Amino acid sequence: MSGYVIAYAPCANCGVSFGCNPNKVPSVRIDGVREPICLVCIGLLNAERRDMGLLPFVPEPDAYEPLPESEL
């Protein structure tokens, strides 16, 4: 029998804890460490990027969903 895994972490931008797929969640590097960004903040960052004429960040469809434990 196999299960699913969801990681919980604080968002690097707002600090709110959220669930995510640790292999696919969008992230930034802070002091060389990969730190996850929540979906709400991705929306806020994309609004800023749009205003600057930059392309938006597009998270993978399952970035905020559980993943099969076999994919860890």
Please give the tally of structural domains in the chain.
1
- The confidence score (pLDDT) of residue 18 equals 97
Structural domain harbouring 55: 4-71
Confidence bin at 1 (pLDDT 50/70/90): low
- The confidence score (pLDDT) of residue 71 equals 86
Q: Convert the pLDDT of each residue in 22-38 to its tens digit.
A: 999 999 899 999 999 99
> Which pTM was predicted?
0.84
Beta carbons of 42 and 14 less than 8 angstroms apart: no
User: What torsion do the CA atoms of 19, 21, 22, 24 make, to the nearest 10 degrees?
Assistant: -130
- How far is it, in rounded angstroms, from Cα 25 to Cα 47? 19
Q: Convert the pLDDT of each residue in 40-52 to its tens digit.
A: 999 999 999 999 9
